[in-house]
Structure 1
Amino acid sequence: MRIAVDGMGGDFAPQEIVRGAQSVSREGLASIVLVGDEEKMKPFVTDHANLTMVHTPVCVGMNEAPSNALRKKKDSSMNRAFELHKSGEVQAVVSAGNSGAAMAFAIFTLGRIPGVDRPAIATLHPRMGEGVSILLDAGGTVDCKPTHLAQFALMGNAFAGSVLGIDSPKVGILSNGEEETKGNELTREAHSLIKELGINYLGYVEGTDMYNGRTDVVVSDGFVGNIALKISEGVADFIFKFFKEGIRNSLKARMGYLLLNDLFKEFQRKADYSETGGAPLLGVDGVCIICHGKSNEKAMRNAILLARKFVEKGLKESINETMQDYQSLQKVKER
């Protein structure tokens, strides 16, 4: 399997990006195509096994407006990676670059799966017990229509089934309460649509349900979803720092830490974004992983392995099939 990696995307590019990609190619887990400024990437390449480079000196800035990148930087490392995917030379794209630009280029170059109006970023979150929950949209589309949320529910359901292997995933809309009288105009209209989709729909769910094991798929517009994501990251960061400071300042706490060391490590592993690596952009006609801008070698390695898993599990094909069924259902209802 060949995977294109945007070598110039991310706060720590190209060093951490190249090292993460190389750790995968060195072990023969995937063939990597590094796309970017060859002269800047070369110093960090120590093993060329299963690794090739495609040169382009142009890159998209982390704070650059996606519209500007789309107009002026079609020859950027990010878009060149998508072009390789579009032509079939690679089976997936991984980028830690500007997420807005990545979404824009993915839509422009790869196109959308028929039946999908707006792609969605799907993040994976730890929860009580085994497995993870899916949150979508986590920031791709901030202004949504009810039909968009219905499509997110279908894509999330397909993702949970095909990749995570969950039989009849539990799906809910993120709201300010479980009662049907809660929510806003968007969630109420989306609620009416999703009830008719024939999936295991729970109705409204609250933020805590992302972590308590009640739901498998949490649906939201990108504005609320991104806030939920950032709050979750902030709480996890606070907990780490709180315990670290307490352990440093207290002998009793240090003794307790020695007894609970394995438990603390497991919590850190579950809450560390680099363990997952990145988030898929669902709804585009390909496999695209969007990574955290601060991704290090470990995060990039895991993101590439995540992309490989999604290709092997047929994520794009599963969503395509789901949306075809959805379109057929809509046509029947219109008769």
Structure 2
Amino acid sequence: MKKNLLYALAILIFTGMWSSCSDDNGGGGGDDKPLTPPEVSVQNLSLKSAILPERKVRLRANIINTTEAALQWFVDGKEMSKDTIYEFSSAKEGAFKVKVTASNVLGEASDSVNITVMDGFKISDVTNWTGEGECRSVLAIQWVSQDVKDLLHPEDGEIFFRAWGYKWKKPEKREDTPTGFDLIKAIAKKDPRLFVIVSSDALGFTIKGFGYDGNGDRKIKIKSEDFEYGGKTYQGITLTEKDFKEGIYVQGEDDNIDDFKLLTEDDYWIGGWHVAYASYWLGYGEAVLESEEYEYSNFYANNRELEDESWDAWTFSPINDAEQNILPLPRLLETATIK
């Protein structure tokens, strides 16, 4: 009888101690968050809303208030997955609505993104290549016609957008990585239809403009008039293909390179400095399918290190409207022909 009483007492003491410890830790289940109606958002982990056919966009469903909820992914209304991560892909071109819903007994919430699948211009479409190596970069220049009606909103027919490829070997040292200026020099040297004006200062080389022989006769002629700016008069100059050494003309200190007029038919010119200028954009990947995928570059071309599958694009923008720099239009991009 005494043993039974001692055993019962031990059980009571242990139970009391366990209960006390449980209370000290919040009391079994005290840390559980209350169930609330869900909130959900779609996070685009790939940072792309336009892809080539059969490529993937990786999406995550984020439950904002971390409550318990069941997930469902839909593509144009058809259920595809119930996982937190969903990878969208399509072999067919078109616009797709990808939607995720989060639901529990207290309610339902949803969010969606639009993904475009298109067989747009890609690196493998380039036919005009310079250099050798396993790495590939693209130079793309977007000209507008001389009689463009609205520089900020050019029409498709007023745009001439061409791409060149540059192959290079991955260097052993980072400081040996080729730059955006190396890309331009190599392509201008090889392609007799491309003409580049540059200037130099303490920071390096500034790209002042691009000319292109549109009719394939390997000739170009551009002319500027005298121009006053900041109390200084810049002298008008006339340039022909003979003034470009290996495709490049270095601006003289007193040269006016603003408001060049083309004197040869079917050719193209963009550039300047005080009125309008060639603005610099960077893109990455096998294809850059949307304008918004390009980021404005604050680098001089000689300070921009190339990457494998990098894109250096140039457009023409008014200098007094910097917040409206003209974006590249990938849907109009074609490869530069070799003649």
TM-score, L = length of structure 1: 0.25
Q: Which structure shows the bigger proportion of residues in helix conformation?
A: 1
Higher Cα radius of gyration: 2
Q: Which structure shows the bigger proportion of residues in strand conformation?
A: 2
